[in-house]
Structure 1
Amino acid sequence: MSHLNNALVEFFIFIHKIVANVITNENYSYGVAIILVTLIIKIILVPLNIKSIRSSIRMTKLQPKQKKLQEKYKNDPQRAQQELMKLYKEYGVNPLGGCLPMLIQWPILIALYYVFNNINGISGISFLWIKDLAKPDVVLAVLAGATQYYSGLLMNPASDSPQAKQAKNMNFFMSLFMIYITFKIKAALGLYWVASNIIQMGQTILTKKLEEKHMTENDA
């Protein structure tokens, strides 16, 4: 983990130097550097995101078959669960796939916590409405929770299955947790999380449209 921490510190410093050559005002250069680092990390995670979104779309398409199984084995919940898992395996669906990108990001989030605690340059630096990137920001905390929740809604399939409900509940509690955490940490890290969620939403919407178009063309 220490190698990841040190690598991200050097990476952020490198990106900020590039941004600072273009944007000399530190009140903007640090904020832009954080957003740029977020974008690069999200690009690296694109293959994982695409896989999760495709799983979400397929799960939505399987809803009629899921309901038939639940009706067929309504008196045997254990058998219904077994048949449902077989169905997911057959179509390559992961019912908790929408949560996977979020879980993968936790080590990165922890590493960035180390990064922003070891970069003294952000102290006293403002960005947009944020008065100090080195201190918590209430508005940013609310945005972190709201964008986390909406991003999770887009990722998780609309289904009545127990797995989908579990993913929905997990997303809700994670959103509340993010509000609490962001209210306690430096705004720099909160800005990363909000930017990450917004980029994730854009990726999800675009990938879903392309995947649904692809599936429609294949059905035709």
Structure 2
Amino acid sequence: MWDWFVNLLTSILAGLAGFTNDWGLAVIVLTFIIRVLLTPLMTRSTASSARMQALQPKMKEIQDKYADDPARMNEEMQKFYSENKFNPLGGCLPVILQVPIFFALFTVARNVPTDAHFLGIMPSISVSVSDMVGSVGLVGAWVYILFDVAFGVLTLIPMVMNLKNTPNEQRSQSLLMGIVMAVMMLWFGWGVPAAVLLYYDTSAVWQVIQQKVVTQRVMDKVKAETEAKLEAQGAQVEVVRKEHKPRPKKKSK
């Protein structure tokens, strides 16, 4: 069952390589195609994240209120999700969909021709940074090393950009996690085929541009709409309370 997807990706990549006459460019074009197809889902994921941030104070209020009654807490949280049409797992789908693409691309990259090059600056995209350093040394493999460093930096940039949407008390922790993740990606990128680095570098550049141009606007809009809805719900509850508040009895003369 898995083989058909790998074969499909291989055929698409080979077709793009034949069209561009460059395997590295083919990987970049394939990345653009994948990102375009995922854009609607990414937009929904962004909206879900923004809604989560706007709903977070109320969710914490429910958690604190029913801390001693987990069953009631779960019931109230589900009711709250339903009232606000919110799915806490709504932002996970784009990430999940990219997992099989990554593993398939990893397999495909292992099987591309050894002379599959990228613009003449990478003699082979089927080898890793580690392989090239071992073969031609640090100086000879500088382009491969540069793409690996870019992988780490481009992993960190979106996390830094997203700090403005993170509560103040969580920013230091989020930044530290971003740095750790960037270092892990540097280590990971050292051993994967250069084709995988090209895919992730291109995908990361796309994400940075998308976050700068589209994502922040979507987040600001959805957060404002959600906060306005919560305020309206609060005002409505207050009106209902006042209407049901018992009137003081008149003193009999």
Q: Which amino acid aligns with 1:66?
A: M
Residue 55 (str. 1) matches residue 56 (str. 2): no
Flag structure 2 segments of 5+ consecutive residues without an equivalent: 130-143, 230-253
Aligned-residue sequence identity (percent) comes to: 29
Q: Which amino acid aligns with 1:17?
A: G
Residue among 70, 81, 91 paired with 2:84 = 91
Task: Name the counterpart of 2:235.
Answer: none
Cα 1:173–1:183, aligned 2, differ >3 Å: closer, same or farther?
same
Cα 1:169–1:183, aligned 2, differ >3 Å: closer, same or farther?
same
Q: What is the correspondence of 1:19-30 to structure 2 with a 5 Å cutoff?
A: 19-20=20-21, 29-30=22-23
Deviation at 1:39, TM superposition (A): 0.4
Deviation at 1:40, TM superposition (A): 0.1
Deviation track 1:108-133 (CA, whole Å, cap 9, x = no partner) reads: 0111112222210544x354865642
Deviation at 1:209, TM superposition (A): 0.8
Task: Name the counterpart of 1:24.
Answer: none
Cα 1:214–1:13, aligned 2, differ >3 Å: closer, same or farther?
same
The answer on whether the counterparts of 1:141 and 1:183 sit within 8 Å (CA) in structure 2 is yes
Q: Give 3-state SS (helix, strand or coil) of 1:120's partner.
A: coil
Cα 1:116–1:15, aligned 2, differ >3 Å: closer, same or farther?
same
The answer on whether the counterparts of 2:47 and 2:222 sit within 8 Å (CA) in structure 1 is no
Task: Name the counterpart of 1:180.
Answer: 187
Deviation at 1:101, TM superposition (A): 2.3
Q: Give 3-state SS (helix, strand or coil) of 1:134's partner.
A: coil
Q: Give 3-state SS (helix, strand or coil) of 1:133's partner.
A: coil
Deviation track 1:193-219 (CA, whole Å, cap 9, x = no partner) reads: 111122123334404414634775895
Deviation at 1:139, TM superposition (A): 3.0
Q: Which amino acid aligns with 1:191?
A: L
Residue 146 (str. 1) matches residue 153 (str. 2): yes
In angstroms, what is the RMSD of aligned CA positions? 4.1
Task: Name the counterpart of 2:100.
Answer: 107
Cα 1:56–1:128, aligned 2, differ >3 Å: closer, same or farther?
farther
Task: Name the counterpart of 1:201.
Answer: 208
Q: Max radius of gyration: which structure? A: 2
Q: Which amino acid aligns with 1:49?
A: M
Task: Name the counterpart of 1:25.
Answer: none
TM-score w.r.t. length of structure 2: 0.64
Residue 116 (str. 1) matches residue 109 (str. 2): yes
Q: Give 3-state SS (helix, strand or coil) of 1:192's partner.
A: helix
Q: Which moved more, 1:44-53 or 1:147-156?
A: 147-156
Cα 1:118–1:35, aligned 2, differ >3 Å: closer, same or farther?
same
Deviation at 1:158, TM superposition (A): 2.6
Residue 35 (str. 1) matches residue 28 (str. 2): yes
Residue 134 (str. 1) matches residue 142 (str. 2): no
Residue 76 (str. 1) matches residue 76 (str. 2): no
Cα 1:115–1:98, aligned 2, differ >3 Å: closer, same or farther?
same
Cα 1:215–1:128, aligned 2, differ >3 Å: closer, same or farther?
farther
The answer on whether the counterparts of 2:13 and 2:26 sit within 8 Å (CA) in structure 1 is yes
CA distance in 1 between counterparts of 2:109 and 2:59 reads 46
Q: Give 3-state SS (helix, strand or coil) of 1:62's partner.
A: helix
Task: Name the counterpart of 2:17.
Answer: 16
Q: Give 3-state SS (helix, strand or coil) of 2:125's partner.
A: coil
CA distance in 2 between counterparts of 1:139 and 1:183 reads 11
Flag structure 1 segments of 5+ consecutive residues without an equivalent: 21-28
CA distance in 1 between counterparts of 2:147 and 2:12 reads 24
CA distance in 1 between counterparts of 2:175 and 2:72 reads 21
